[in-house]
Structure 1
């Protein structure tokens, strides 16, 4: 789009179906590279990614020509097929329905990138459930707990 200028930074967070710990360290790097290819193939800019065993964080510089919903749909469906086809897990892999999308200003990027890349350290102190609810509260997003991800009890 000529003469269209934007600066949109979105952190996207989504979970493995059933919150199972299916993303193993043995293929995490390959999965992150594959997801990065999906993002760049959609003409978007990936700034950070980290796949934990049961959820994923991405920070994306989003062009206004693509909706967040369409990008997340493409990332989730293509990466699910990739994981299944590669045989990284037994059976068919799937992400849970839904996702979180949180916007940031340029001045916050370094902190968000650091946060994403240090997920293993962060999750030594805080569960994914607590982390996700903290995001919803910090961004003042109304939510009903019964519609959040399936949580392992």
Structure 2
């Protein structure tokens, strides 16, 4: 087996393994967060499964697209350099997708919390009267 084929096999094993591990971890630990976001356990579970499926599709699709290498792999060091670049890209994509999910769900949660807050006791003042002329403070009268 040549170095390029070995690199592809190692890349696939590491990338798919990382994707599965991260997806399982995020799915398990994100369930509590999603229950808080949606305030409904059934909806949170369904969204969690949909997010996990989308996560797998996006990441494994990216792994497949990035797998091809145009460089010639003639030595073990060249193979390791190319492999580290490819795995680094996979890790960056995993991180960016995770941050985007957390940011979007956090925005949704804040919006939902704002809508469920009670109405303030007094309506907000829409117009303040113009301020009068500024007078210096007066000394108290002595008596």
Shorter-chain TM band: 0.3 to 0.5
After TM superposition, the score normalised by the length of structure 2 is 0.33
The structure carrying a bigger helix percent of its residues is 2
After TM superposition, the score normalised by the length of structure 1 is 0.32
Between Structure 1 and Structure 2, whose CA radius of gyration is higher?
Answer: 2
The structure carrying a bigger strand percent of its residues is 1
